[in-house]
Structure formats: C-alpha cells, structure tokens
C-alpha cells in the first residue's frame, strides 16, 4: 500500500479543528501525538462492551477485559521485536519506566561506587532517577557530552565505560532530533561489561524498532507519543534482567501470597503492575500499534525524512539566518524534531504568534535543561512531525514565522 498522507489525515478527528479562524497545523507530536479514530473506537468498545477489572473475575466480560489487556501486551512485544510478551511491563509513561528501572533494578543491583553513564542530551526522565539513586545508594554518574555538531562526543566513550554497570541513552533527542548510534553504543557497552538502557520515547513512534537488533537490555517509551492514549507507557527488559528485579510498587495484583509474616510477589509482568492497571489505555495502545503496523514504520520513517528535509531547506533559506536550527542540518542520523532559536523573539512569543495562525509548536526547555545550558539557551520553539504532517503545513509554519519576525523587528 502506498503512503497517502492526505487519506491518512482523515483518520485523525482533531485535524478537522479550526483554531483562531485557521485550519489547525499540529506540529507538536514530540510532546504528544494525535490519536486516530481506530484507537478512540477501541477504547470506547472496551468501556461499552468489556469493562471489568483484569486478572480477577471469571465472568465473561472480565475474561474479555483480561484478554484485551494481554492482547495489547502481545502487540507491543511484536512491535518492538521482544522475545516474549512477558518481557513487556506496562507503566504510566516513560518517566515511570525509568523510575522503575532505577528504583527497582538499580536499587537491587547497583552498589556504592557502581557507575551509570548517561548523556548530556537526556530528558530529565533519564537523569533525575539516576541522581536520586546516586544520593540514596552512592552510585557514580558519568556523562557523555554533546559536540558542537549536536551529536554525542564518543571520543572518550571507552574511558567513561571503564568499570561501568549501565549506559542509559536516548535513541533520539527530543530537542535536537539527533538519532544516536544505539547499535554501536550497545556493542561498546557490552564489550566493557555494561548493560544498555534506551529511552525510546521519540524513536519508537517514528522509526522501526527491534530490540534484538539494537542490542538493548532495557527500552522505555510512552503510548501517547505513538498515536496512543496518555496514561500508559512501557518498560521492556530481557527476561534475565527481570529475574533480578524486585517489585517496584506493593499492593493488589502484584502478589502470589500475603501472610502476617510477609508476602510473595507474583511472577511475570504482574509483579510490577500493582493495583488496577490502565486497562482502557492498554487497549488503546494495542490499537495504536496495529494502526502503525498497517501503515508500516518504514513508510512513516520515509515520510518524515522527506518532510524534515523539506522543512530544513525552507527554514534555512527563508530568513537570512535569523532563525537558527538547534540540531544537525543534515538529515542523516536525525529525526523530525526541529528546535528553533528565533533572533530577538522569545520562544514563548514565537509560539503565541504562531498560535494566531493555528500553528501548534512547543516552547520551553523540553525537560532537557543540561542540554539547554550546553548551548547557552533558556528555551527553544520546537517543531515536531508525525505520520500525518505535510509539506503544506511546513509552508504554513514558515509563513507564520515570517509574521513573528516582522512583528518583533
């Protein structure tokens, strides 16, 4: 099937919105993606026909709810190339996934002086939990820096990995758009005796993902960035690592037995999914996976590469250097996230002016303050594409940016 973005856009109800008298131009998929009708319908069917708690009741609708929930887990496992569905644990979002990784696996397996290597371009979700573990357990943190070319400086990678237990890195920067060489990083980490954790919040939604080919040991991502609902994320790990990870939260659903002397945790993903899980959201995530599989991630990646190439060309040629692209100019090893530093205009002002033309972009530090400081920035105006984004939307963005520059000149 050919990739017909105009036809695909009819699947997204929000794209029919009119904002301030203009058709909406949604260029904030890096923050949260739009949701296709099939995802909304799947969640509605769950609530209207199967709504019951999972892994508890034995009546028909409860069995249907459990089947739908576990079908979603199997779909996610298939989508990322996991060896088995039980390697997939549902969380609230990628942030909670990293907290589970640090507070459960990390607290159980890292000792004072053990080394975790992270990078200067990480989202706070892949920084703060490790700082907290440093403060509570005495681990050492080391940092891969970012070069002037907006890519990781790997010149001292082996030195940083010497004696390390874990390297934790984003696959794709949510600020720069840089796609990091995860396969190479996995090889170097494993050669040094370290494991590799990957922040896939940006990459899983836009690129084909196979955890086996990547060489990852852990992968975290969120549903709402890949056409799914908010409130659900994923932490995948190889089974051998789950075997060494105690429960993260305690309560109902995550136990095999409880006595007045203590408790025995459940086996499998239930061990980490305490309480009533996000059932409808899991169903929605499963529907989002099936939608992306139907259009293929290869087609999504090719479409967004074409769009990013076009956007970089237009943004570079249209403003006489007054709009700085904070990220690689070349489309090799970069995705559809484009951060802009507009001369003389604060990113929040840029965003507000663009909103008057129905254009949605994200101003701010994007939960990456160390990276902002690296490039002497307080914030940027970030443009980010999704499978439904188009070249005419890029043209609308460029026209609106011209208006912002004129207004503040």
Question: Which residues are known to be catalytic?
Answer: 367
Q: Which residues contact 277 (CB under 8 A, 6 or more apart)?
A: 54, 69, 90, 253
What burial letters (b/e) apply to 136-162, b meaning 16+ CB within 10 Å?
ebebeebebebeeebbbebeebeebbe
User: How far from 128 is each of 52, 102, 282, 363, 395, CA to CA, in Å?
Assistant: 36, 10, 26, 22, 38
Tokens of 256: 């095999």
What burial letters (b/e) apply to 380-391, b meaning 16+ CB within 10 Å?
bbbbbbbbbbbe
Element (H, E) at 392: helix 391-408
**Residue found under tokens 């037995």:** 257
Alpha helices by DSSP H, 251-390: 279-295, 297-318, 347-355, 369-374
Q: Return the closest-CA partner of residue 400 out of 303, 326, 323, 286.
A: 323
């Amino acid at each position: 099937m050919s990739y017909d973005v105009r036809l695909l856009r009819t699947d997204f109800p929000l794209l029919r919105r009119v904002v301030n008298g203009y058709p909406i131009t949604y260029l904030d998929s890096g923050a949260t993606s739009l949701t296709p009708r099939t995802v909304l319908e799947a969640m509605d069917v769950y609530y209207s026909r199967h709504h019951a708690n999972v892994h508890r009741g034995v009546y028909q609708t409860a069995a249907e709810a459990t089947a739908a929930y576990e079908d979603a887990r199997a779909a996610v496992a298939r989508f990322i190339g996991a060896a088995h569905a039980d390697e997939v644990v549902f969380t609230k979002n990628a942030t909670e996934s990293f907290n589970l990784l640090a507070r459960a696996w990390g607290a159980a397996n890292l000792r004072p002086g053990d080394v975790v290597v992270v990078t200067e371009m990480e989202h706070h979700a892949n920084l703060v939990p490790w700082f907290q573990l440093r403060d509570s357990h005495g681990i050492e943190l080391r940092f891969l820096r970012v070069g002037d070319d907006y890519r990781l400086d790997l010149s001292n990678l082996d030195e940083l990995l010497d004696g390390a237990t874990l390297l934790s890195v984003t696959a794709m920067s949510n600020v720069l758009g840089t796609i990091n060489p995860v396969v190479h990083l996995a090889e170097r980490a494993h050669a040094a005796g370290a494991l590799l954790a990957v922040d896939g919040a940006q990459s899983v939604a836009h690129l084909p993902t196979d955890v086996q080919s990547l060489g990852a040991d852990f992968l975290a991502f969120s549903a709402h960035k890949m056409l799914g609902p908010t409130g659900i994320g994923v932490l995948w790990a190889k089974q051998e690592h789950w075997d060494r990870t105690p429960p993260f939260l305690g309560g109902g659903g995550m136990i095999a037995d409880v006595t007045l002397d203590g408790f025995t945790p459940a086996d499998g993903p239930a061990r980490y999914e305490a309480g009533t899980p996000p059932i409808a959201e899991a169903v929605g995530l499963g529907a989002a996976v099936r939608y992306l599989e139907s259009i293929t991630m290869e087609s999504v990646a090719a479409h967004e590469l074409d769009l990013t190439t076009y956007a970089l060309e237009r943004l570079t040629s249209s403003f006489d250097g007054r709009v700085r692209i904070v990220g690689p100019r070349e489309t090799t090893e970069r995705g559809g996230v484009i951060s802009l530093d507009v001369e003389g205009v604060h990113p929040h002002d840029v965003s507000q002016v663009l909103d008057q033309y129905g254009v949605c972009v994200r101003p701010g530090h994007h939960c990456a303050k160390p990276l902002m400081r690296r490039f002497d920035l307080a914030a940027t105006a970030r443009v980010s594409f999704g499978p439904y984004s188009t070249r005419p939307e890029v043209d609308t963005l460029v026209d609106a940016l011209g208006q912002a520059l004129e207004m503040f000149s």
